[in-house]
Amino acid sequence: MLEALKRRTSGFTARVVLVALAILVGLWGVIVAGGSFFGGNQNAVITVGSQVVTAAEFTSAYNQQLQVVNFYDGYTTPQQAEERYGLTDVVVSRLALEAMVLDQATKMGLGVSNQAMAARIRLDPSFADRTGAFNLAAYRTMISQQYGTEAAYLEVRRPAELQGQIGAAISPEQLTLPESYRRILWEYDNEQRDLLLALITPANLGLLPEPTEEQIAAKYADTAATAYQAPESRAVVLLQVNPGTQAQPEAITEDELRAAYTERQATFGNAETRHVFIELLASAERATAIQALLDAGRTFDQLVAAGEIAPADQGTISESYFSANPAVGAAAFSLEPGATTIVDGRFGRTLVHVAEVNAATIPAFEDVADELRVTLAQERAAVTIRDVRDQVEDARAGGTTLLEAATRFNLTPVTMIIDAAGNDAFGQRIADLPGGTTLVNAVFATDVGYADPPLAGAGGYIWYEVTAILPPHQRPLEEVREQVIADWRSDDASQRMQDLASTVINRVNAGETLTAVASSLGLTLEPVNDATRGTTPTNTLSSNALLAAFNGPSGYIAPASTTDGEGVVVVQVVDVTIPPFDPTIAPTTTEEGILAAFQQDLMQGYVRDLATEYGNIQYNQQLVRQLAGLAAAP
């Protein structure tokens, strides 16, 4: 239950819910389902000492908890909430715990006076206005809507205040870490180290030997159970029918090809484009004035320079650009380069200027003939696809296999071995697999000999038929020989790098400096200053190298792997610096987390003590399930 809720929650509210559930579930072992009545009170759900949890109180608590589940899971029925989270157990445990705490408060003589209650209500942020002051109107509205009377509200709130008095004793605000503990945390977070890293890669190993046949066989036998295992795969017959597979370009005659070229000439190459400027003239008078200037010989550029016009640059466009304003488009694509005119456009008199014309480019027949022949053949084949589908489906309905149907209708089937990842029998990705992942999923959702409906794809259909299911099996050495050799080389290089790292460390421990040893072996040295445990790792200063760097005192030396796993780094601690501890610095997130953990430990311990004191607590299971809208308990 906790894991399921954890996967669906995040944020502060979620953490509160999970902590509460962790405590309550720890209590559940002492809550035992009982009979129909307790103490002669048929309305009692739980009785703990002097405290009685009524049906109304359970119903209210249950509905609140169900709303929490709905918030994270979406709409959830009581039956679903019970199956997923055991919600009634959670609510009964919570109410039992509250009843225990209230009973303890009563025994200890704790109480909350009316004056204290009033003070707490005035400070409750739920009733504050925008300035933070107590809002009496909001308080009265809430009581009226949810509780009816102030007395009813106080009856609910007073027990909560009593519980709060006990809970406050173990809240994080009441706990402080000893200064020695805080000092340890400070030193852990802020300790700095200067390091020297010696990087070892396969390049430092020189020419490596090739494996012998005995070594290859040993490597294969050692890891064959997992590394060289072939997964379950299936033998499949595929039949793909679409315009591409059915096209017969050779059937297109030369006359048909030239007629199509003439008819479709406009679709080849690039259409004519023009660089156009336009301006919507505000009035007929202004249009007349500008036309007069043009008639008098003023050029477009002169009118722009004089501020007579301010046209908008439309850029280089095709004629379709003016589909919503055809009169302007017709003018723009009929003028000569450099010409200007004024026309009646859709929105009024419009000035049009053409700065440049880019003529259409139409390729020669010979340049597009092959592509056009394929296009015509596919278009012709497309009209036959539905007929082919009907023929194949009718044949399969009569018991014909896919291979037999392909032969009967002169179609080309494909047979292959495929696994659930879309790989072939050798573990290689199948390129251009018809239907892709959809086909793979369909193949592994069926069984041998089933006549499943075809998949749609590429303007046609893809049929598939599983002819055999091949269980996981050991690939023979001959099939995976190259992989085995590559794995052996990798393992051999890794072991040699580790051996070289051990040599480096032994020489340093014997009295040589890491700088001298690295120089004699041709290793790359990298100094790192002021590293902390929170330093961002690099390839050389990997996470493992950081752990090694803080695993010993100054002078400590140890090996670690690089981040990419392709090398080994020898880490030496050159110097250790611990900044002075300042006890006045505000608590860190780490300290806050530790305090919260302390609080939870104390709370769980308190709950365990209560459970021991009260023993097994019975509850009215039949009434609980009835109130939650569940079927009666068996």
pLDDT tens digits, one per residue of 176-204? 777 788 888 888 888 999 999 999 999 99
Tokens of 260: 């199509």
Indicate if the pLDDT at residue 168 is higher than 80: no
Provide the pLDDT confidence category of residue 514 given band limits of 50, 70 and 90.
very high
Provide the pLDDT confidence category of residue 10 given band limits of 50, 70 and 90.
very low
Q: Any idea what the Cα angle at residue 352 is, between residues 349 and 356, rounded to 5°?
A: 175
pLDDT value of position 14: 33
pLDDT value of position 589: 61
Q: Any idea what the Cα angle at residue 617 is, between residues 612 and 619, rounded to 5°?
A: 160
Q: Distances in Å between the alpha carbon of 510 and those of 438, 496, 513, 517, 549?
A: 64, 21, 9, 11, 20
Query: What is the sign, positive or negative, of the torsion defined by CA atoms of 587, 589, 591, 597?
Result: positive
CATH classification (class only), 192-213+481-577: alpha beta
How crowded is residue 224: how many other Cβ atoms within 10 Å of its Cβ? 16
pLDDT value of position 25: 43
Provide the pLDDT confidence category of residue 162 given band limits of 50, 70 and 90.
confident
Indicate if the pLDDT at residue 5 is higher than 50: no
What three-state secondary structure class fits 419?
strand
Average pLDDT over residues 397-422: 94
Range with the poorest average pLDDT among 72-76, 288-292, 368-372, 543-547? 72-76
User: Residue 138: beta bridge partners?
Assistant: none
| Closest listed residue to residue 464, CA positions, set 455, 472, 456, 477 | 455
pLDDT value of position 398: 92
pLDDT value of position 23: 44
- Evaluate whether 57 touches 45 at the Cβ level (below 8 Å): yes
pLDDT value of position 436: 93
Which residues touch 204 (CB under 8 Å, ≥6 apart)? 497, 500, 521, 522, 523
pLDDT value of position 587: 55
Provide the pLDDT confidence category of residue 315 given band limits of 50, 70 and 90.
very high
CATH of domain 2-172+596-627: 1.10.4030.10
Provide the pLDDT confidence category of residue 38 given band limits of 50, 70 and 90.
very low
Indicate if the pLDDT at residue 327 is higher than 70: yes
Provide the pLDDT confidence category of residue 150 given band limits of 50, 70 and 90.
confident
**pLDDT-above-70 percentage for the chain:** 90
pLDDT value of position 496: 96
Tokens of 572: 């030496």
Residue keyed to tokens 């859709």 = 346
Q: Distances in Å between the alpha carbon of 532 and those of 83, 272, 607?
A: 48, 66, 40
Indicate if the pLDDT at residue 36 is higher than 60: no
pLDDT value of position 18: 34
pLDDT value of position 531: 95
Tokens of 457: 């794809």
**pLDDT-above-90 percentage for the chain:** 52
CATH of 230-248+369-474 given 3.40.50, 3.30.470, 3.30.70, 3.10.50: 3.10.50
Range with the poorest average pLDDT among 423-437, 491-505, 576-590? 576-590
Which residues touch 183 (CB under 8 Å, ≥6 apart)? 581, 583
CATH classification (class only), 270-358: alpha beta
Indicate if the pLDDT at residue 7 is higher than 50: no
Mean of all residue pLDDT scores within the chain: 86
- Evaluate whether 232 touches 501 at the Cβ level (below 8 Å): no
pLDDT value of position 472: 92
Amino acid at position 298, single letter? R
| Closest listed residue to residue 361, CA positions, set 494, 237, 235, 269 | 269
Average pLDDT over residues 320-338: 93
| Closest listed residue to residue 66, CA positions, set 52, 48, 85, 46 | 85
pLDDT tens, position by position, 334-353: 999 999 999 999 889 999 99
Ramachandran sector of residue 262 (left: φ over 0; alpha: ψ -120 to 50; beta: rest): alpha
